[in-house]
Amino acid sequence: MLAIFSFLYAYARPFIKWFLRHFTRLCELQRICYGFESGAPRKKSIEQSLELSRQKKIKDVIDRLNKSIESDVIAEEFYDQHIPHAVSIILKVKKIKPKIHPDFGPNLEVCIKSIWSYRRLLYDIEDIRATPFDNAHHEEKLLKLWRLLMPTEPLESRITKQWQNIGFQGDDPATDFRGMGLLGLENLLYFAEEYTMAARHVLSHSFHPIHGYTFAIVGINLTSMAFSLVQDGPAKTHLYNLKTNQLSVKHFHRLYCYLFYEFDKFWVECKPTSLMDFSNIYARFLDDILQQLGDDRTVFNLKQVFNI
């Protein structure tokens, strides 16, 4: 049924746009900017409108913005030059005069900044995820993680069973980062460094003799969850509703911290009897997060969660 509706909408969309353009004297982008609530509702709709555009110049704008991300253009140049240039082209293509519609250009620029900063974020975190744990700098990050989580217990050596105390599978944590690469370690370290007391609080729950779990391994699984939420799109709701229009890896780390803290609460409330319950509880937690992100008003508030 959904496929049929999508086909009918795609067929009828040009006629609907033509009618509304002539009836309202506004193009689709204007109707969205003026009629949709700021944040995720407006940005998602602008993104869809641009992607569905059949106008070659707008398709070229989208293509150039996407390629600029892949060519590692520095952030200042991207936001201060590429984005305003893209907005000016769209205004010309849509024949919108800034003097008559002074609010449209700035509103559209805010949306485009958010949309393509999200795409830059995905590109950046994929680059970190694809980086293997394999050098001395990574080793130092790992040792720092231990010092933050276990400040009163010195590490006997780099390879030791002590790593299992914070939830790694064996004597060498490096083997546990194969799936999520360096991103798994960066997430854990950010949580432990930026929200130290909250991370230690969560770690303390993992020690429970009945309801405990492997802290680090669960953390790496939650890295996978956070990455998938960004890659597949549901995380747009939260990230598009943030006050900033220039996302960075920091915002991904904060999303991860929220997920870890909330998963820990969810796990404790479920009172599992063994780690065999992990897959079921993980799936239920993910369903709950997806349901929340299905509401375009959702934004995960770390200040409320961590009481900071």
The torsion angle over the Cα atoms of residues 266, 272, 276 and 279, rounded to 10 degrees, is -20
Instruction: Mark whether 252 and 294 lie in a shared domain.
Output: yes
Residue of 18, 35, 36 lying closest to 27 (CA atoms): 18
Q: Which of 87, 103, 129 is the last residue of a domain?
A: 129
pLDDT at 230 over 80: yes
Same domain, 219 and 284: yes
171 and 291 in one domain?
Answer: yes
Joined together, the tokens standing for residue 197 give 């007391």
Average pLDDT of the segment spanning 17-39: 74
If asked whether residues 282 and 170 sit together in one domain, one would say yes
75 and 194 inside one domain: no
For all residues of the chain together, what is the average pLDDT?
A: 90
Residues 298, 174 share a domain: yes
Same-domain pairing of 175 and 190: yes
Q: Which of the residue ranges 27-41, 250-264, 284-298 would you say has the lowest mean pLDDT?
A: 27-41
Same domain? 105 vs 172: no
- For residues 160 and 141, give the distance between their C-alpha atoms in angstroms, rounded to a whole number: 17
Same domain, 168 and 276: yes
Residues 141 and 100 in one domain: no
- Matching residue, tokens 């599978």: 169
Mean pLDDT of 7-15: 49
Residues 109 and 227 in one domain: no
| 215 shares its domain with 82 | no
Q: Which tokens is 46 given? A: 């602008």
Give the three-class secondary structure for 248.
coil
Nearest to 107 by CA among 54, 166, 13, 37: 37
> Greater confidence, 204 or 12?
204
The least confident of 13-22, 174-183, 195-204, 288-297 is 13-22
Domain holding 80, by residue range, is 2-129
- Per the structure, the count of domains in the chain is 2
Q: What is the pLDDT of residue 271?
A: 92
Residue-wise pLDDT for 41-84, tens only, equals 999 999 999 999 999 999 999 999 999 888 877 878 888 889 99
Q: Enter the pTM of the model.
A: 0.90
Q: How is residue 182 written in tokens?
A: 């360096």
Last residue in a domain, options 129, 152, 182: 129
Cite the DSSP H helix spans in the chain.
Answer: 2-24, 28-35, 40-52, 56-70, 75-77, 83-93, 104-129, 136-149, 181-194, 196-206, 215-232, 236-240, 249-270, 278-293, 302-306
